[in-house]
Amino acid sequence: MRVAALALWLVVAIILLIPVVRGRSMTGPPRRRVSSDELVKDPVCQTYVVRSRAVSRQTAAGPRYFCSADCASRFSG
Ligand SMILES: [Zn+2]
What is the whole-number distance in angstroms between the Cα of residue 70 and the centre of ligand 1? 7
Say if pTM beats, i.e. exceeds, 0.75: no
Q: Give the span between the Cα atoms of 23 and 18, in whole angstroms.
A: 8
What is the whole-number distance in angstroms between the Cα of residue 32 and the centre of ligand 1? 25
Has residue 33 got a pLDDT over 70? no
In this structure, of 7-16, 30-39, 46-55, the range with the lowest mean pLDDT score is 30-39
SS3 41: strand
H-type alpha helices, the chain: 2-27, 31-36, 69-76
**Alpha carbon of 17 to those of 3, 11, 12, 22, 30: distances in Å?**
21, 10, 9, 9, 21
How far apart are the two ends of the chain, measured CA to CA in Å? 76
What is the whole-number distance in angstroms between the Cα of residue 37 and the centre of ligand 1? 17
Condensed to tens digits (0 to 9), the pLDDT of residues 47-70 reads 999 999 999 999 898 999 999 999
